[in-house]
Amino acid sequence: MPHKIEKYLPLTESTAYTLLALSEPLHGYGVMQKVEAMSQGTVKIGPGTLYGAFTTLESEGLIVKVGESDRRKTYALTDKGKAVIKEHIRRAVIMVENGTMTQGW
């Protein structure tokens, strides 16, 4: 494995969705809107949470600033960020497969 990604897992729901949203470059409010839409309203990220997530994800090298205008920074996933969200999703899929039984409850 080129990156040590174990230490970042498991991601919180907000962080996982933030990374998924950044598959295309977006600024903060863009991430909030996209996450709410993608998650069908189940996940709404507050600005305090998102600001903290951006700071941490950037310092850990999972996302990178790709632009800035009118005090709004645009971020995108790095290769390391892609590897982390990919592994998180791989594990989530296993869990979903295990969880199909709950549909019969």
Partner 1 sequence: MTTLKQFHWFWAWDDDKEEAWLRKMAQKGWHFKLVKLPGYYSFEQGEPRNDFYRLDFFIDSKAKADYVQLFLDAGWEYLGEMGSWQYFRKTALENETLEIYSDNESKSKKYQRILFFLVVFLPIYINSINILNKRQDTLSLILTFVMFAFMLLYGYSIIRLGMRVNQLKKKL
* Residues at the interface with partner 1 (CB under 8 A): 12-14, 28-29, 32, 43-53, 70-73
Q: How far is the CB of 61 from partner 1 (least distance, A)?
A: 18
Q: How far is the CB of 79 from partner 1 (least distance, A)?
A: 25
Amino acid type, 53:
A
* Choice between 13 and 24, CB closer to partner 1: 13
Interior/surface letters 62-92, b for 16+ CB within 10 angstroms, e for the rest: bbbeeeeeeeeebbebbebbbbbbebbeeee
Q: How far is the CB of 82 from partner 1 (least distance, A)?
A: 22
Give the side-chain half-sphere CA count within 13 A for 80: 16
